[in-house]
Structure 1
């Protein structure tokens, strides 16, 4: 899918290939293990394994049902990743007896502690990342450093990364086929996974339209925009009203808030519908709130007013999964980098809130439009 980014520099040429040496992901837990309880919280390091593959190996080696293994998030396959899992505590001695076998399969258990509950998806604060960028000339490196300094302050558009959509990028189409009864999937886990890929695809399409709106507001005068209304597709309803366009133009931040947008307290908290856009724009700049897009489904808190005109195009009412909101805009923290001109490489580290993709941060940095 084509994406739009907010930075304006020419594309940065460099090479990044996810591998165990050049890509390291470390989960930031939501809470520490309690030290007591019927579950065991395990901190593991895995290499060249998806989370699903790791769960399957643990299930086979320990003789435990995969449904009894808890995890907080899905981690990249082509990387060295550190993440938390939970298993019933009754398997503690079996786990220590099998450490060599697990090691051989790419899973190293680093620590175990008793805990009161099973880990659930989403029980994490975020992730920290290390990336090694290669074939980066000194000129391109300087462009990257300038862009990173801007990104530290500005934040970036929170697209779903291509990993979300499978090897060929078509998972969302399979999800849509399930809704149209063109595909029957007996495995509920796979069906849910494909449907959530479709939810993610709709979110990305919505975010692309909002980024298109932001770009136009930044680069054109209200008069120019209003006089061309009728050719903007989804955005026509917003851009035909000069008063709305002037309100948007007055906002200082790149991602413009619309009346009726659903914002969420940042980095976690409750969702609410925006009313006073000017006041909320200040809170957005201060990183207290962020606008959100729909992961459509039942019980969704939907946008209202002007924001609804755009959102409704990307809401599929056939989705019966529970709907939720996803930040449209996020900020990287702890951004640090070292450039090594003798090998034309940059070592880059940063952390992101849960559900945000390091690959999207990198695509934003490179500003390569595909």
Structure 2
């Protein structure tokens, strides 16, 4: 899927390929281990392994079921990643005895402490990242620096990254086949993963539609939009009178809020339906709230009104997974960079909320897909 970004500079030319040297990910834990309890929180460093591959190695090496191993998030394979996992505390001595063997297979145990509960997906505050960009000329580096300064304040569209959809990008299609009974998957974990990829695909399509609408409102005058609404692709559900479009255009942020959107307090908090767009737009600009898109499923908090007319095209009611809302817009924190002209490289560090992709931040910065590297 081609993504639409909000920055207007020409694409930045450089080279980035995820590797253990040029891409480092560190989990930011939600809490510190208590020091007591039946579980063990383990910090590991892994290289060239997916989280699923790491869990399988630990399961086989320690002699415990993979279901007994908890983790807070899925981490990139082609990277050096520091992440937390949990195992029953009864395996503590075996973990110590097998540390050398694990290290040989790309898993280094760095520390471990007792805790009262097993780690669950989502039990993290966010992730910090290091990326090394190569073949970056001084001219392109200055463009990147200028864009970074804008991104610090503006935030960016929170697409799911391409890696969410598998090596060939088709995981979401396999998830849809499960819904259509065209694929039978006995492994419940794999089935949930593929269905989740399908949820993610629908979210990305919705976000792309809203980015297109926002771009039209941003670049066209209200009179042009009102006169040629269908020609510009403005959905019929957006009332195309000049007054309504003027109000949309007055919103400071690129992503335009609609009445009936579901917003969420940022960086975490409760969801609510937007009624007064003017008030919530001001809070959005101050990073107090952010709009959200649907990860469709049961118990989903749905948008209303105009926002629902757009959202319902990207909701599959056959999904019986638990639905949720995902931030459509997020902000990077702790952004820092060093440019080394003698080797034409930039070292970039930043942190993101959980569930957000460093590759999407980078694509927004470069204003192009990483597949064009």
TM-score range, shorter chain: over 0.9
2:129 alignment partner, SS class: strand
In 1: Cα distance, 2:237 partner to 2:269 partner? 30
Aligned 8 A contact 1:135 1:344 in 2: yes
- Name the structure 1 match of 2:199: 199
Contact 1:229–1:239, Cα closer than 8 Å, also in 2: no
1:299-358 deviation digits (Å, cap 9, x = unpaired): 000000111111011001000000000000000000000000000000000000000000
Matched, 1:330 2:330: yes
* TM-score, normalization by structure 2: 0.98
Count of aligned pairs: 370
Contact 1:144 1:366 in 2 (8 A): yes
Instruction: Give the superposition deviation at 1:231.
Output: 3.9
2:70, 2:120 within 8 Å by CA — same for their partners in 1?
yes
Alignment correspondent of 2:299: 299
Residue 53 (1) aligns with residue 49 (2): no
Deviation at 1:275, TM superposition (A): 0.7
Native 8 Å contact 1:234 1:313 kept in 2: no
SS at 1:237's partner residue? coil
Counterpart CA distance in 2 for 1:230 and 1:360 is 30
Distance 1:55 1:182 in 2: 29
The structure 1 segments of at least 4 consecutive aligned residues displaced by more than 6 Å after TM superposition are: none
User: Which residue in 2 is equivalent to 1:21?
Assistant: 21
Per the alignment, residue 251 of structure 2 pairs with 251
User: Are 2:79 and 1:79 equivalent residues in the alignment?
Assistant: yes
CA positional deviation for 1:238: 1.1
* Structure 1: gaps spanning 5 or more residues: none
2:289 aligns with 289
SS of 2:237's partner is helix
Q: Residue 280 of structure 2 aligns with which residue?
A: 280
- Root-mean-square deviation (CA, aligned residues, Å) is 1.0
- Mapped to 2, the partners of 1:234 and 1:167 lie a distance apart of 34
Q: Which residue of 2 aligns with 1:182?
A: 182
Structure 1 length as normaliser, TM-score? 0.98
Equivalence for 1:313: 313
**Mapped contact 1:5–1:367 kept (Cα < 8 A):** yes
> What secondary structure is seen at the aligned counterpart in 2 of 1:235?
coil
Alpha-carbon shift at residue 232 of structure 1 (Å): 5.1
Question: What is the match of residue 113 of structure 1?
Answer: 113
Offset, 1:198: 0.5
User: Any gaps of 5 or more consecutive residues in structure 2?
Assistant: none
